[in-house]
């Protein structure tokens, strides 16, 4: 069970987060490289490391090069894990996402390299080894398992309440909205990615699926289908504001991001430039600029709802009529707690 602490990440909590985000990748990479090197005498002088669309090997490397690549990839993701955990340690959720990403990705790549190398033990010519879809599936499974482990290793924590300061740079105060004592009001809107990002997304998924069909590599087609489902879930959302707070749901009900009303300090609106403020589209975390530290769903440019929590964490979602959503949240806060 994941431990939960309060008051922000102490040294012990931070150490566990770093262990999950950086320690796991280092250990996984070291074990993977050791396995590859231990098979040196059973492998051909140059092992297959790349396969074409038809599943035929067309790239080869020495055993030591494969081992170094595994270690180098793991080390790079460990460094990324350290930097990101230290940068976002005020937010427990984002820290856990970082740990899952660095550890899970390292596990997937390492498992893929190890499994593909293991298949070449006892062969004289690596060119005869084909790329089986089962290896991809096993590597993906390993990545998922390690990602879950990394989340379990990273403790939860809640930050103490902070005094409400001025509006963030670029934010606009929401208009006033009166809500009666017994009145029940719900605001809801749907939002989806459109324009160039949607075209690129659809084209990428389409190309992946076509390659899988033409080359009869059904695992590639499976990746295309999985990407389509993931895109539908992540890039089409429903935003709801009611007396419970703010709720953001994906098309299939997941992922789900909920901020209860008692954890909200204030709501406002802000104009978002996805590439400049967040580095892209989707569920993002701003690393630089006036919105630094803000997380949320960035599906398009333009007006966005910005919610500041009592612990200082800021959540954002780009959605039409964001001003009304912000006004309703502030009105509900005023009705329940007597002011914003």
Residue 148 sits in the same domain as residue 21: yes
Q: Give the CATH number for residue 269.
A: 2.30.29.30
Residue 114 sits in the same domain as residue 186: no
In a domain, 95, yes or no: yes
Residues 246-258 pLDDT 10s? 988 877 666 678 8
Residue 76 sits in the same domain as residue 185: no
Residue 115 sits in the same domain as residue 184: no
Residue 122 sits in the same domain as residue 255: no
In a domain, 213, yes or no: no
Domain that holds residue 20: 4-158
Under the banding of pLDDT at 50, 70 and 90, the label for residue 223 is low
> What is the domain count for the chain?
2
Residue 125 sits in the same domain as residue 178: no
Residues 271-317 pLDDT 10s? 888 888 887 777 777 777 777 778 888 888 888 899 888 877 888 88
In a domain, 321, yes or no: yes
Mark which of 158, 179, 207 sits at the end of a domain. Answer: 158
Q: What's the per-residue H, E or C state across the chain?
A: CCCEEECCCCHHHHHHHHHHHHHHHHHHHHHHHHHHHHCHHHCCCEEEEEECCCCCEEEEEEHHHHHHHHHHHHHHHHHHHHHHHHHHCCCHHHHHHHHHHHHHHHHHHHHHHHHHHHCCCCCCCHHHCCCCHHHHHHHHHHHHHHHHHHHHHCCEEECCCCCCCCCCCCEEECCCCCCCCCCCCCEEEEEECCHHHHHHHHHHHHHHHHHHHHCCCHHHHHHHHHHHHHHHHHCEEEEEEECCEEEEEECCCCCEEEEEHHHEEEEEEEEECHHHHHCCCEEEECCCCCCCCCEEEECCCEEEEEEEECCCCEEEEECCCHHHHHHHHHHHHHHHHCCC
Residue 148 sits in the same domain as residue 255: no
Residue 139 sits in the same domain as residue 180: no
pLDDT in the model for residue 197: 57
Residue 122 sits in the same domain as residue 180: no
Under the banding of pLDDT at 50, 70 and 90, the label for residue 159 is low
User: Is 161's pLDDT higher than 80?
Assistant: no
**What average pLDDT is seen over the chain?**
78
């Amino acid at each position: 069970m994941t431990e939960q602490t309060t008051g922000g990440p102490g040294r012990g909590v931070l150490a566990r987060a770093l262990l999950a985000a950086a320690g796991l990748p280092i250990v996984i990479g070291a074990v993977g490289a050791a396995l590859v090197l231990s098979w040196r005498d059973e492998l051909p002088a140059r092992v297959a490391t790349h396969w074409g669309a038809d599943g035929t090997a067309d790239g080869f490397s020495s055993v030591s090069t494969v081992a170094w690549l595994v270690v180098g990839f793991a080390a790079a993701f460990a460094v990324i894990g350290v930097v990101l955990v230290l940068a976002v340690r005020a937010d427990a959720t984002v820290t856990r996402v970082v740990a899952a990403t660095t550890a899970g990705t390292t596990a997937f790549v390492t498992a893929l390299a190890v499994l593909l190398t293991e298949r070449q033990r006892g062969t004289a010519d690596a060119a005869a080894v084909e790329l089986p879809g089962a290896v991809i599936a096993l590597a993906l499974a390993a990545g998922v398992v390690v990602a879950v482990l990394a989340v379990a290793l990273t403790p939860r924590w809640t930050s103490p309440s902070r005094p409400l300061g001025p509006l963030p740079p670029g934010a606009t105060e929401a208009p006033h909205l009166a809500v009666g004592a017994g009145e029940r009001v719900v605001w809801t809107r749907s939002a989806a990615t459109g324009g160039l990002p949607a075209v690129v997304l659809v084209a990428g998924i389409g190309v992946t699926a076509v390659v899988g069909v033409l080359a009869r590599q059904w695992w590639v087609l499976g990746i295309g289908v999985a990407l389509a489902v993931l895109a539908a879930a992540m890039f089409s959302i429903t935003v709801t504001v009611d007396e419970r707070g703010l709720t953001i749901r994906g098309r299939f009900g997941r992922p789900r991001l909920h901020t209860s009303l008692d954890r909200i300090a204030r709501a406002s609106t802000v104009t978002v430039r996805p590439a400049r403020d967040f580095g892209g589209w989707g569920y993002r975390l701003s690393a630089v600029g006036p919105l630094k530290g803000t997380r949320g769903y960035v599906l398009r440019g333009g007006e966005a709802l910005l919610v500041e929590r009592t612990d200082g964490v800021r959540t954002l979602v780009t959605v039409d009529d964001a001003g009304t959503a912000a006004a309703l949240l502030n009105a509900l806060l005023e009705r329940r707690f007597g002011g914003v």
